[in-house]
Amino acid sequence: MALADETPEGPGGAPGSSAPGEWLIYRGAGEPHDGIRSLPKPPPWRDFAGRPLVAPGPAADSASTRRLGAYRHLAAMHRPSAEELEIINAALYLRRPLLVTGSPGTGKSTLAHSVAYELGLGRVLHWPIVSRTTLGDGLYHYDAIARLQDTQIAAGGRAAGTPVPGGIGSYLRLGPLGTALLPTATPRVLLVDELDKSDIDLPNDLLNVLEEGEFAIPELERIAEREPEVEVLTNDGAKVTVRDGRIRCHAFPFVVLTSNGERDFPAPLLRRCVHLELTRPDHERLATVVRAHLGDELARVGDDLITRFLERSRTEQLATDQLLNAIYLTHHAEPPTRDRLADMLIQRLDRPR
């Protein structure tokens, strides 16, 4: 990739010739740093500049701790490949969604938490996709039924004309995608997990929002003349002010779309994304994952299970969390019970051919 020999001159600067790798903002080292401040301005066609800015999201939560492992500092012992780093940073530079494909257990979802943790981008906004998920689920939810019930209760217990406490904003909450598009100074990280599980229409429905970096809330647009500013809840549980019924991002979020490769996506979506395919991890990477979650001792004791896991994964579909379960449980048992327990926990996820 051409960017490999370039580095930003600083915030707002343009890439220039320098040593390979110095242009990288996300380095995959597992150590937090403020490199996000060195991210150059976006290309003109990806410059959104929504205003006014709102407060950044909360700090990383327990979900990131679980994803990255209890011993997060050990993750620095294995870095992503040079090609993976280039593709991830290309998505950061270009302000494009990152489409990450690969088999279950290859670390697709963990990647989003790793970027958020290293670059200090706060809590990852998680949007799990199922067959019934719609674009509206990700943008916002308006509880019209609750508002109607409160109106009826207020009408029955108070004099006519008394306003309902809280107003419309009390019944509207932004979803993960809607919260990610709020105008923040630094990008939020949004994980759209298992997009291939969605209804056939969702990938196409995402196109306009991901391209324009904004969306409208019709319920607020209709009252914008008399209520130009409405306070609503975010997916983080905080309150923000929406003006004129529209939300437009300032720093485009780092969007990670994951897929297990169970379906093909439309070409218009693919051309708007940077694609990263994660291959099956090797022995070194799996050992690092085990160390990060279970520590050095269990990684050493379970080394033979890692080898057996890799041998089986050549012909069977397996997931890394199966290996973690097996190593955690079997270190309490002796052979042959240990081997039997491992085989019980590490079962193929695909059908035998």
- 2-11+44-137+172-277 has CATH 3.40.50.720 classification: no
For residue 4, the model assigns a pLDDT of 37
Parse the chain into domains and list their residue ranges. 2-11+44-137+172-277, 283-345
Element at 87 (helix H, strand E):
helix 82-94
The pLDDT tens digits for 224-254 are 999 999 999 999 999 999 999 999 999 999 9
Whole-prediction pTM: 0.85
CA–CA dist 221, 212 (Å, integer): 18
Helix (H) or strand (E) holding 174: strand 172-174
Mean pLDDT for the stretch of residues 65-74: 72
> Tens of pLDDT along 297-310?
999 999 999 999 99
Residues written for the chain: 353
Torsions phi, psi for 96 (to 5 deg) = -115, 150
Does residue 155 carry a pLDDT above 90? no
Question: What whole-number distance in Å separates Cα of residue 45 and Cα of residue 210?
Answer: 12
